[in-house]
Structure 1
Amino acid sequence: MRAGDIDRASIIARASALVDKKLLIVGATMDVVSPLPEHFVPIVKALSDAGATALTDVVLDSDHRAALAQLVTAWMRAKVAA
């Protein structure tokens, strides 16, 4: 990825362009690769501050592997298929 691509790929930088999209942002309390304060919280804050109208944010009390598939399937059935 080139330096110029970083803002284009950044959810935070593009938050205003995503406000009308159906979004599911998932974090996990035991995720050691993407800690909540460094990854999840800034993204959810940026989207909320931009006025996201269809944002679902969920924090799983796990490393999110086991519950993630069930969560995403249920969310897609409720939000995307509707």
Structure 2
Amino acid sequence: MIIIRSQDRLDLMRVNRVEISNNRVYAMLEDDIRKIGEYESNERTIEVLNGIQDAIIAGTKFDIINKDGVRYHKEKVFEMPVK
């Protein structure tokens, strides 16, 4: 699972599955399908999908320990490229 901000910057969603079709990237939600990006070519669309994969591989969560020694878990957000 990953949190993705849409290309138009209007949606922030927790996504379990991402698909591409006809230069568009779609997020599969529990009860909905949303277009989260559209690009000039299929090659660029695949590059964006690869970026999402790389973000997942790098990890979608990280820990921060504050000055008092308290640990917080934070989730990373993947922002869809504008172009």
TM-score w.r.t. length of structure 1 = 0.31
Structure number with greater CO (CA < 8 Å, separation at least 6) is: 1
TM-score w.r.t. length of structure 2 = 0.31
Question: More helix per residue: 1 or 2?
Answer: 1
Question: More strand per residue: 1 or 2?
Answer: 2
Specify the structure having the higher radius of gyration (Cα): 2
